């Protein structure tokens, strides 16, 4: 593995139904609303077929470090409601595999992400700063699990009062907000 290659396996456990979880994570266009601490812009380039197979999205994302990533994801496989796989190109290149496993009343969510960093700052400094880049990834995934739990609560709320009682999802990192990296770019 070269210094700018990364492999992450993240595991979440959320209370919910497997179809609820699959529907949320499969809907990439809603990421900035419920996982806005990481996903700042998402655009659909090609719609794809049933359960998104062939769908191409372009996004801009960040973590706690003061830079953003531009990535295109194409859904290459759907195992709905048990997960899907995506190929990534752009600042990160590789494959992401989401797997959802029911474990009543929970869903175990696994994200297996194998990538090569193409963004110059990561590519050039990985030999030295790999632990920091890994920490940045871990931060984003912790925010994802927290945000997914909140989104599930929001979707289950039956009244306006219940909905308003659900906390807002986590905000982008202070560094991202200070440098205004989470702002929409034309």
Maximum pairwise Cα distance, the chain: 52
176 has a pLDDT exceeding 80: yes
H-helix or E-strand spanning residue 111: strand 106-117
Domain 5-178: CATH superfamily is: START domain (3.30.530.20)
Site of tokens 């999802």: 169
Beta sheet of 83-90, edge-to-edge order: 5-15, 106-117, 92-103, 83-90, 68-78, 56-62, 39-46
pLDDT digits (tens, 9 = 90+) for 100-159: 999 999 999 999 999 999 999 888 888 889 999 999 999 999 999 999 999 999 999 999
2 has a pLDDT exceeding 90: no
User: What is the reported pLDDT for 186?
Assistant: 63
Q: Which two tokens stand for residue 168?
A: 């807002």
Which of 99-113 are b and which e, b meaning 16 or more Cβ less than 10 Å from the residue's Cβ? ebeeeeebbebebbb
CA dist 107 → 10, 68, 158, 165 (Å)? 14, 30, 22, 23
Q: Which two tokens stand for residue 46?
A: 């090609």
Question: Whole-prediction pTM value?
Answer: 0.94
3-class secondary-structure state, position 74 = strand
- At residue 1 the predicted structure's pLDDT band, cuts being 50, 70 and 90, is low
| The CA-based dihedral angle spanning residues 36, 16, 14, 9, taken in that order and rounded to the nearest 10 degrees | -80
Q: Do 33 and 129 contact (CB within 8 A), yes or no?
A: no
pLDDT digits (tens, 9 = 90+) for 62-109: 999 999 999 999 999 999 999 999 999 999 999 999 999 999 999 999
Measured CA angle at 28 (ends 84, 101), to 5 deg = 35
**Domain spans in the chain, listed from the N-terminal domain onward:** 5-178
**Mean pLDDT to the nearest integer, 3-16:** 96
């Amino acid at each position: 593995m070269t210094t700018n290659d990364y492999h992450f396996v993240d595991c979440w456990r959320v209370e919910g139904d497997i179809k609820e979880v699959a529907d949320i994570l499969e809907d990439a266009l809603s990421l900035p609303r419920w996982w806005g601490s990481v996903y700042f812009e998402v655009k659909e380039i090609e719609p794809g077929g049933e359960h998104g197979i062939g769908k191409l999205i372009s996004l801009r994302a960040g973590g706690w470090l003061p830079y953003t990533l531009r990535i295109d994801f194409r859904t290459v496989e759907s195992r709905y409601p048990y997960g899907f796989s995506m190929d990534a190109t752009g600042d990160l290149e590789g494959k992401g595999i989401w797997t959802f496993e029911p474990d009543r009343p929970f869903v175990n969510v696994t994200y297996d992400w194998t990538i090569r960093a193409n963004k110059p700052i990561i590519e050039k400094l990985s030999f030295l700063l790999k632990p920091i880049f890994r920490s940045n990834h871990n931060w984003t995934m912790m925010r994802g699990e927290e945000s997914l739990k909140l989104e599930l609560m929001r979707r289950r709320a039956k009244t306006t009062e219940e909905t308003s009682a659900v906390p807002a999802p986590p905000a982008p990192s202070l560094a991202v907000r200070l440098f205004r990296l989470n702002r929409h770019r034309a």
